[in-house]
Every structure is written in structure tokens, then in C-alpha cells.
Amino acid sequence: MQKQTKASTTTSPAKTRLPAARPDPARSVDLAIETAGSNPSDAVRVYLHLHYASGIIIKRVDRHLSRWNLSVARYTLLRLLLNYQAMTLTELSKSHECGAGNITALVDRLERDRLVRRIAYKQDKRITQVALTAKGRSVVTAAMEPHRQFVEQLMGVLGPEEINGLGRMIDALAKRAQDQA
């Protein structure tokens, strides 16, 4: 009986992965609809496109704002406080169209990062207001111009008339949704 020897093993060169192609958002929605086996109306199809696109846009804007350790929610709240000096949690909740619990958690994190501080309302000590710290003012001020430029570049795929028309359409949809609430 012959003794078998192990064949020398050579390592194959590492496979170079090409970056995955980014899916076409419109095609992704259409594939989801097909997979679900439904045949939605044009209104439902456009809603799904709007919903999917808003998710992509928010993720991209969050990624951009991350260089200042901000997200869309954090930036928006800091920007409001820059304009209004101090606001109550209720006022912040209404301006964000989200629940008080979410605003409280967001303010807790901003306070932990020393971007905002809670202060007692002068006229009624039972009410707490939120105000920017010097660090918060510095961070939001540093982010403002690059963020504006980023959003303009992002929206630059549309012409001025398309941007204005889209704005009017989104406002109409938002108003309708508020009226049905």
C-alpha cells in the first residue's frame, strides 16, 4: 500500500469584490410590488416611490451630517433652537411631528453630548425649556453652510420649476395627511 502524501496547498489570490451596483429606486419599488403579487393603483405606486425615495434621501443626508456627529433629527432640533433660543419639549415635539417620548430621548442624547441644556422656564418653574449650549451653537453653525450646499447639490438633479412644483405637491400631500388625522 502506497503512502499518500498531501498535495501541496496553495492559497488562491483573494477575490476582488466589485462594489455592488446600486439598485434603481424605481425598479426596487416595482420589484417589491411584483413580489407582493399586487397590482396597486397609480396613487399607491407613487406613495411607495415617495416612501422609498425619502428613506434613501434621509440615509444619505444622515451620512453627510455624521461628520458633525449629527443626524437629520439632531440637526433639525439644533437649527430650531438656533432660531428660537429656547423651546419647551412640547413645542419641539409639535415642530418635529413626533411624540414627546421621542423628543425627550433626542434631547437626552443631545444633552449627554453637551449640545443642549435644560433650563427652568422663568414664568413657570414646572416647565422645562431646552436651549443650545455654546458647543451646540458652534456645531450647528459649522454644519449649516456645508449642509445647505449638500442639499442644493442633491436637489440639483431637478430644475427650479421642478423643485418648486415638487414642493407644492409635497405640501399638498402633507396638508391632506394632517387634515385626515
The string of pLDDT tens digits covering residues 116-168 is: 999 988 888 888 899 999 999 999 999 999 999 999 999 999 999 999 999 99
- Residue 21 is predicted with a pLDDT of 55
Average pLDDT, rounded, for the chain: 84
Domains along the sequence of the chain with CATH: 26-68 (no CATH), 69-144 (1.10.10.10)
C-alpha to C-alpha distance for 115 and 170, rounded to whole angstroms: 31
Whether this prediction's pTM lies above 0.85 is answered by: no
Compare 31 and 167 and report the one with higher pLDDT. Answer: 167
Compare 62 and 95 and report the one with higher pLDDT. Answer: 62
| pLDDT confidence tier of residue 25, bands split at 50, 70 and 90 | low
Would you list the DSSP string of 35-94?
HHT----HHHHHHHHHHHHHHHHHHHHHHHHGGGT--HHHHHHHHHHHHHSEEEHHHHHH
Is residue 14 helix, strand or coil? coil
- Residue 30 is predicted with a pLDDT of 72
